[in-house]
Structure 1
C-alpha cells in the first residue's frame, strides 16, 4: 500500500474501527424454502441462490469510500476491523464468522458511495450446515446462542408489509436517458467501434419505477429468488436485484467466475423451436464474438494471479425466465504470494472490475468513452455486490437485473447491452427492456 493510500485510510478510519465480538453457532437444518423463511424485513442484507447464502439484520459497523481508491480503502478498513475483532467461529466455512456485505460504484467518478456493512445478526445456510452469527460492539453484551436466537426472533417479529401488485398508479417513466437518446448513443457507439478505437462498448440506460404505494423490498426479493433461482439475489442498502453473473467467488485458494455476454430475449422466441437459442447464440458470429471478448478479458487479468486455470473452449446457453445468455464458467487455483497468502476476494474484485462484459474492450478506453457517451451516472449498476469474510473468502456478483431504491415510492432500474460493429439500435433497446423485466415483474409493473 502506498504511503498516500495509507494516509487516506488513516484519515478515514481514525476512530472508526470498533472492537467487535462475534460468535457463530450451528443451527438445525432449515426447511426446503431455506433462507426465504427469513426474508421478511425490507431492511435486510441479502445474498442468496438456490435457498443458500446469508441474510443479515442490523448494522454494527460501516465503511464508505469513493474515488479510484475505493476498493483499496474498503479492503484496508476490513483488514483492520477483522484484525481487531474477537471472532468465535467453530464452523470456519465460507460465510461463517464475521462477514461484511459490500456494494461498489461502477465508476471512480460516480457520486454513489461504495460501502461495506457488518450486520449484527446473520442467518446462513450452505450445502452442509445452517448457522447464526451474532456480532456486537458493546463490551457488556453476552454472546450466546440464546441471546442470538432471542434477538433474531425479535427482528423477525418486525416483518415488513407486502403491497398489492399491478394496481393503482404504478408506472415506468424515462430515467436520465430516453429511448430515443439510447438509440442515438448506440449509433454513436457503433461509429466509434468502426473507427477502430474499441472493439466493444457496453451501453447502459435507466428507467424509473414510480409506485403508488411504498415498495415492499422483502416481497420483491422473494419474487426474484423464486423466479430467478439460478441467479444470485442481492440486497445491500437500497441496491436490490438478482444477477446471473458472478464476478468472482473465492473459497480458500480457488477462484471462480461466471461470464455472460450474448443475450436473446425469450419473449420474442418462436414457439416449438427447441434449437432456437442454440442457433441464435452458439451459431451466431456476433454473439460469439461478443462473448469471446469478455472471456479473453477475464482470463488475461486472472492469469498472472493463478497457478492453474480451467476455461472452457465452448460456452453454454444459460436459460433464465426472461432471456437466454451465452455463459462460461472459469475456475483457477490462486498462486501464493511471497508471504504465503493468496489473494482475497476483494483483491480480485479490484483486479477484475470492470469486466469487458459490462464495460467494453479494451476496458480502460471503453470506460473513458462510456463516461462521455452514456450521459448518466451508473451508480452501483454493474459494480461489484456481495460479501467477504475474515479469511478472504467471499462472493461478488455484478449488480445487474436490479435497481436502486431512491425513495419509498421510487426505484431506478438499469440495463446495459454489448455493442459491437454488427449491432442494431432498435434491437439493443429491445434487449435492454428484456433485461429490466425481472425487476418490472417483481414490482408488478
Structure 2
C-alpha cells in the first residue's frame, strides 16, 4: 500500500466575489463548489477504481487502508481538510464504467470564509510545510487556458434513442405503472454534442458555478455538471440530504404570475405523488443508520435558473455502531443509492426496466459524485444536469424524468430539454430547432452499451 504524506495549511483571504472560481483554470481538474465555496483539486497522488455490485465496499476498504498508513499534518481538522478523495460511482452495478476515488496532489478549500491548502505526496523525502504546498500549487497555475468561443459548426445530435423512440419508451413505462408493476420509474435519455474545436472544461465549470450557484458544481475525471440534489452530506456525526422530484420548466411560465410555480407544482397531485415516493425511498433507507430524523412536512419550491422543483431537506443524527463508530459517508451512499428520485420504486423493478427501455449505459450519470475526508466527513451529490467528456470535441449529455401514472410522453420530452439547458448554455449552445433521427457517429459507438 502506498504511504501518503499530507499537510494542510491556512491561506490568506480569497476574493469574496469569486471565491474558488479563480482556481478553476485547468481542463483536467477536480472540483466541488457551491456558492463559490468548496474544494478544488489539482493533480493526482492516489487512485482506486472498481466496478460491479461491490464497488462501494471495495472503495471503502481501499480508503480505510490508505488512511491507516498515512502521515497527516492537519492542524485545522475541519470538514474537507487533511487527505480528501474525490469520487464518482456508476449508476448501475452492471455498468462497465469504472467507479473511482482520486486523491489530488493539491486541494484549495474554502468554507465559511476560511481558506486552506492541502498538499499530499508519496515522496518520503518531501518537506511538509506551507512553502512546499504553495510551490506545488504554483506549478499548476503556470499555464492557463484561453477562452473558447462558440462555433457555428458545433452540433447537437441525438443519442441512443430518437425523440420519437424515447416518447414510446415513456408510454411503455406508463403502461407498466398502470399494470401495477411499479409506482414510478425514472427514464433518462442522452444527446451528443460534437464541437468544432476542443472543449475547455474549466470554462464550462465556471459558467455552471456562476449560473447555478445554489447547486453543487462538480468535476471528476471528465464527469462535469451542476447538481441540485444532495444524496448525503455527513459532518460531525450529522447527515443531511436534499430530495428533488417534481419539475416545472421556467421557460414556458407566465412572467406576471408570482404564484405560478407554487400553484402548479405544490397543487399537482401527480407532482406531489412523485415527490412523496422519493422522500419515502430515502428515509426508509437512511433510518437504520440514525437515532433521529426530521424532514419537511410539506415540500418547498426550489427555484433554479432553468426550472422549479419540489424539494425536501432531510436531517438525521447518525447512530454509532457497537464499536462507537458512526457510519461513514460511503456506507450511507451505498445504502441510499439508487434512490427513487433517479431510479423509481420499487428500485429493483425500476432498475430492470431502465436497462430494457433506455438502450444505453448511464455510466456515472445519476450515480453518486462528491468527496470525503479522513475524519468521516463528506458530501455526495447525484450526478445530474451534467455531461461526460468523451473526447476533446465529443461531449454526451444526460437528462431524465420521473414517470408515474398520468405522465404524458410529450411533456416528459420537454422536461428533458429543460434539464439539458444548464449544460447546453454552459457549452454556448441552444436547443436545435430540429434534431436528426439518428447520428451514426455517436449511436454506433454506444450500441453495445
- Normalised-by-shorter TM-score class: over 0.9
Aligned counterpart in structure 2 of residue 113 of structure 1, from 98, 104, 109: 98
- In 2, distance between residues paired with 1:373 and 1:62? 34
1:245 and 2:205 equivalent?
no
Matches of 2:313 and 2:393, distance apart in 1: 37
Deviations 1:327-365 (A, max 9, x none): 000000001100000001111000000000000011111
The answer to whether structure 1 residue 420 and structure 2 residue 420 are counterparts is no
> Secondary structure in 1 aligned to 2:48?
strand
Structure 1 runs not aligned, ≥5 long: 1-16
Please give the alpha-carbon distance, in whole angstroms, between the structure 2 residues aligned to 1:319 and 1:343. 32
Gaps of 5+ in 2: 430-449
Alignment of 1:14-413 (within 5 A): 17-32=1-16, 33-165=18-150, 167-413=151-397
Number of aligned positions between the proteins:
428
Q: 1:103, 1:62 → 2: CA distance? A: 12
- Output the aligned Cα RMSD: 0.7
Note closer, same or farther for the CA distance 1:442–1:128 as it changes in structure 2 (3 Å cut). closer
Q: Match of 2:424?
A: 440
* Structure 1 residue ranges (4+ consecutive) displaced by more than 4 angstroms after TM superposition: none
Larger CA deviation: 402-411 vs 171-180:
171-180
Q: 1:157 aligns to what SS in structure 2?
A: coil
Give the drift of 1:368.
Answer: 1.4
Contact conserved, 1:346 with 1:392, CA < 8 A, in 2? no
**Deviation of 1:111 (Å):** 1.5
Partners of 1:23 and 1:133 within 8 A in 2: yes
TM-score under structure 1 length normalisation: 0.95
Aligned with 2:141: secondary structure? Answer: helix
What is the rounded CA distance, in whole Å, between the counterparts of 1:299 and 1:365 in structure 2? Answer: 19
Structure 2: distance between partners of 1:133 and 1:159: 21
Greater shift in the superposed pair: 301-310 or 347-356: 301-310
The whole-number CA distance in structure 1 between the counterparts of 2:385 and 2:250 is: 15
TM-score, normalised to structure 2's length? 0.94
